[in-house]
């Protein structure tokens, strides 16, 4: 097994870290750290086991809004590379070049000419290519939408994805040789995401288990629409049905990631948002990721209440569906994320529990 910590000593993170990064250094907004004005602090944060944000709003903002590129935290990088487990002469496709650091780590293991890394953002891709070249690495940087993979380099033995997807683009499976491995953060929309290790089979399908939680930025073309949940629902605030629930809506947030995978499988197309006020009141919004004017639900947690107010509108009762999925997960005995897996075919995604034959969802479409 490759000792990725040793690889990181040969290919230091600092070499790929831009001069300005934003770090989470405690309560409050991201802390801006500038190598030119505070080189010691910059070196200190680069050495921390923390993600470092390198871009917001696709480059349109500084220090706020949606974080759109980062150097992932080193332990998370090691976890992904351990799952990928490339070996000598493997041809590796990476999606999400970012700074170029993980491409350089892969290149150290399999040789630079065997690594192709795809970055959607031209400015980031160009800077990563410069850094890779400056460090003597021959990895190829391609600027484009990584959802399509990179057909000229196929077949690949390994696909290393460093941005999250709600569904695995079939192009990645098509471009991987049978027996090859795809490691990808899977974020179907409800709660947090999970790291998935897929084996590609000779029949053109891919199947594999989730290995842990994974909180990555979304692949650009698969991001859910932005905006505040209440803005979405204001557009569809008609015929609201009210009820009460005894389930604490915060539980959905605090339970392990296997709940998120279960809910996303049983309640297809669902998207969650939480808003927490300083007085402890929390609202869980459940939305339809593809339909801004579609069904929605909200559940308000209020301290000292024994049940909680629910509002639902539209053609589906989304909270009822989420609650039923959560109760099923409890009844299964709170299965750990590693008991779940996913099988992908050209047309379907099927989440299973324990065995690929035991599919739990999503249900077949209309
Ligand atoms: C967490 S960062 C990647 C970190 C990177 N591996 C490193 O070592 O610095 C995710 C990257 O994925 C890129 N990305 C997002 N959508 C993409 C897409 N459709 N195709 C290729 N890259 C994409 C983002 O621009 C961002 O740079």
Q: Could you read off the pLDDT of 269-309 as tens digits, one per residue? A: 999 999 888 888 899 999 988 887 789 999 999 998 999 99
Residue 362 to residue 325: CA distance in whole angstroms = 12
Residue 163 CB less than 6 A away from ligand 1: yes
- Look at residue 240 and tell me if it is in a domain: yes
Give me the number of domains the chain comprises.
2
pLDDT digits (tens, 9 = 90+) for 16-55: 999 999 999 988 789 999 999 999 999 999 999 999 999 9
CATH code at position 263? 3.30.160.690
pLDDT of residue 312: 95
139 — phi, psi (to 5°)? -55, 145
- Look at residue 99 and tell me if it is in a domain: yes
| Same domain membership, residue 325 and residue 251 | yes
| Same domain membership, residue 154 and residue 247 | no
Q: What does the angle CA 329 – CA 332 – CA 337 come to, to the nearest 5 degrees? A: 65
pLDDT digits (tens, 9 = 90+) for 86-132: 999 999 999 999 999 999 999 999 999 999 999 999 999 999 999 99
Residue burial 217-234, b: 16+ Cβ < 10 Å; e: rest: bbbeebbbeeeebeebbe
Residue 139 to residue 356: CA distance in whole angstroms = 36
pLDDT of residue 63: 87
Residue 365 to residue 344: CA distance in whole angstroms = 15
Rounded to the nearest angstrom, the distance between the alpha carbon of 25 and the centre of ligand 1 is 23
The ligand 1 atom nearest the CA atom of 128: 9
| Same domain membership, residue 21 and residue 139 | yes
| Same domain membership, residue 235 and residue 126 | no
Catalytic center residues:
69
Residue 102 to residue 13: CA distance in whole angstroms = 9
Residue 121 CB less than 6 A away from ligand 1: yes
- Look at residue 175 and tell me if it is in a domain: no
322 — phi, psi (to 5°)? -65, -45
| Same domain membership, residue 147 and residue 41 | yes
Where in the sequence is the domain holding 54, given as residue range(s)?
A: 4-162
C-beta neighbour count of 88 within 10 angstroms: 8
Using omega within 30 degrees of 0 as the cis cutoff, is the peptide bond preceding 362 cis?
Answer: yes
- Look at residue 213 and tell me if it is in a domain: no
Residue 206, C-beta contacts closer than 8 angstroms, at least 6 positions apart: 168, 173, 176, 182, 198, 199, 200, 343, 344
CATH code at position 54? 3.40.50.150
- Look at residue 365 and tell me if it is in a domain: no
- Look at residue 59 and tell me if it is in a domain: yes
Mean pLDDT of 221-226: 80
- What are the beta bridge partners of residue 199? 181, 207
Residue 190 to residue 185: CA distance in whole angstroms = 14
pLDDT(235) > 60: no
Residue 152, C-beta contacts closer than 8 angstroms, at least 6 positions apart: none
* Domain final position from 132, 162, 192: 162
The ligand 1 atom nearest the CA atom of 118: 21
pLDDT(223) > 90: no
Strand order in the sheet with 282-288: 241-245, 308-313, 296-301, 282-288, 270-276
pLDDT of residue 150: 98
| Same domain membership, residue 152 and residue 20 | yes
Best substitution site from 22, 80, 163 to test ligand 1's pocket, by max atoms within 8 Å of Cβ? 163
Residue 173 to residue 9: CA distance in whole angstroms = 32
Reduced to 3 states, what is the DSSP secondary structure of residue 152? helix
pLDDT of residue 259: 97
Residue 106 CB less than 6 A away from ligand 1: no
Which tokens is 116 given? Answer: 């192709």
| Same domain membership, residue 158 and residue 46 | yes
| Same domain membership, residue 150 and residue 79 | yes
Question: How many alpha carbons fall within 13 Å on the CB side of residue 47?
Answer: 7
CA torsion through residues 136, 138, 143, 149, sign:
negative
pLDDT of residue 209: 98
Rounded to the nearest angstrom, the distance between the alpha carbon of 236 and the centre of ligand 1 is 34
pLDDT(366) > 60: no
Mean residue pLDDT across the chain: 94
- Are 165 and 96 in contact by the 8 Å Cβ rule? The answer is no
Mean pLDDT of 230-246: 78
pLDDT(9) > 80: yes
pLDDT of residue 194: 97
Tell me the pLDDT band of 224, cut-offs 50, 70 and 90. Answer: confident
The percent of residues in the chain predicted with pLDDT above 70, rounded, is 96
Reduced to 3 states, what is the DSSP secondary structure of residue 85? coil
Residue nearest (by alpha carbon) to ligand 1 atom 13 = 96
Q: What does the angle CA 19 – CA 135 – CA 172 come to, to the nearest 5 degrees? A: 90
* Domain final position from 111, 140, 162: 162
- Look at residue 345 and tell me if it is in a domain: no
Long-range CB pairs of 249-256, under 8 A, 24+ apart, other chains included: 249/282, 249/283, 249/284, 249/299, 249/300, 249/301, 249/308, 250/282, 250/284, 250/301, 251/326, 252/191, 252/284, 252/322, 252/326, 253/191, 253/284, 255/326, 255/329, 255/334, 256/213, 256/334, 256/336, 256/337
- Look at residue 171 and tell me if it is in a domain: no
């Amino acid at each position: 097994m490759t000792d990725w910590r040793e690889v990181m000593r040969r290919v230091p993170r600092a070499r790929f870290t831009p001069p300005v990064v934003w770090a989470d250094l405690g309560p409050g907004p991201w802390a801006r750290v500038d190598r030119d004005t505070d080189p010691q602090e910059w070196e200190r944060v680069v050495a921390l086991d923390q993600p470092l944000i390198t871009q917001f709003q696709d480059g349109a903002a500084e220090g706020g809004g949606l974080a759109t590129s980062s150097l992932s935290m080193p332990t998370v990088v090691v976890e992904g590379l351990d799952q990928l487990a490339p070996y000598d002469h493997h041809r590796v496709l990476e999606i999400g070049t970012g700074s170029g650091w993980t491409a350089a780590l892969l290149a150290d293991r399999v040789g630079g000419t065997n690594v192709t890394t795809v970055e959607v953002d031209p400015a980031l891709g160009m800077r990563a290519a410069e850094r890779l070249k400056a460090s003597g690495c021959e990895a190829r940087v391609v600027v484009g939408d990584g959802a399509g993979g990179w057909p000229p380099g196929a077949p690949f033995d390994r696909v290393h994805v460093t941005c999250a997807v709600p569904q695995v683009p079939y192009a990645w499976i098509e471009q991987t040789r049978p027996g090859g491995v795809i490691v990808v953060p899977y974020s179907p929309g409800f709660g947090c995401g999970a790291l998935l290790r897929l084996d590609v089979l000779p029949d053109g399908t891919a199947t594999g288990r989730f290995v842990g939680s994974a909180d990555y930025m979304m692949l650009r073309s698969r991001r859910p629409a932005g905006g505040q949940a209440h803005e979405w629902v204001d557009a569809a605030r008609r015929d609201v049905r009210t009820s009460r629930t005894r389930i604490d809506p915060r539980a959905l947030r605090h339970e392990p990631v296997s709940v998120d995978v279960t809910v996303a499988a049983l309640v297809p197309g669902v998207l969650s948002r939480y808003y927490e006020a300083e007085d402890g009141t929390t609202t869980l919004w459940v939305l339809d990721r593809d339909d801004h004017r579609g069904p929605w639900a909200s559940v308000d947690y209020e301290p000292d209440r024994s049940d909680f107010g629910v509002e639902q509108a539209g053609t589906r009762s989304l909270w009822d569906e989420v609650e039923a999925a959560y109760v099923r997960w409890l009844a299964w005995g709170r299965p750990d994320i590693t008991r779940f897996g996913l099988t992908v075919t050209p047309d379907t995604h099927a989440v299973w529990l324990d065995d690929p034959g035991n599919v739990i969802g999503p249900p077949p479409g209309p």
